[in-house]
Amino acid sequence: MASALFILNGPNLNRLGTREPDVYGHTTLGDIERMCRETAEDIGFDIEFRQTNFEGMLVDWIQEAGDVAQGLIINPAAYTHTSVAIRDAITTADIPTVEVHLSNIHARDAFRHHSYVSPVAYGVICGFGATGYRLAIEALSEVIRA
């Protein structure tokens, strides 16, 4: 069976394509999912790609990832800057985790500069738009196979 990666997306990312296109572009979450599936298939990984607007749902899914997946890619969206619960779930899941942001959070509002997730992530990719998800899959696959 191929190794599995969970790719989890937080609040408002279901609105990509029409949400603040000057910041996030016109790529939809469906486009990102398709790109992730192609990338993962090419390198022999199965993916579970999900989005929710609910913090507790993300916590449940991170716990599930810890039980069944080899790695986690997460764009926690606004919860990045607020959620101790998501950070604790990632710590507990104990699988290599990449934090992804479409935008460069350090070049935006000051409240976006702090991430609760970064200190417990294996790595962080931000500012490359949808490409960041592809880079995260490639990087995580190397970490898992090493």
Catalytic residue chosen out of the listed positions 79, 101, 116, 133: 101
Between residues 59 and 105, which has the closer beta carbon with respect to ligand DQA? 105
Where on the chain is the footprint of ligand DQA (CB under 6 A)?
A: 12, 75, 77-78, 80, 101-103, 105, 112
Active site residue 122: no
How many angstroms separate the first and last alpha carbons of the chain? 18
Between residues 37 and 81, which has the closer beta carbon with respect to ligand DQA? 81
CA distances (Å), origin 28, targets 35, 84, 98: 11, 28, 20
User: Distance (Å, rounded) from C-alpha 19 to C-alpha 142?
Assistant: 33
CB of 77 to ligand DQA, least distance (A): 3
Strand partners for 8:
50, 74
User: Distance (Å, rounded) from C-alpha 143 to C-alpha 38?
Assistant: 19
CB of 95 to ligand DQA, least distance (A): 20
The DSSP symbol for 82 reads T
Catalytic residue chosen out of the listed positions 24, 79, 116, 133: 24
Active site residue 113: no
CB of 127 to ligand DQA, least distance (A): 8
Q: Return the active site residues.
A: 24, 101
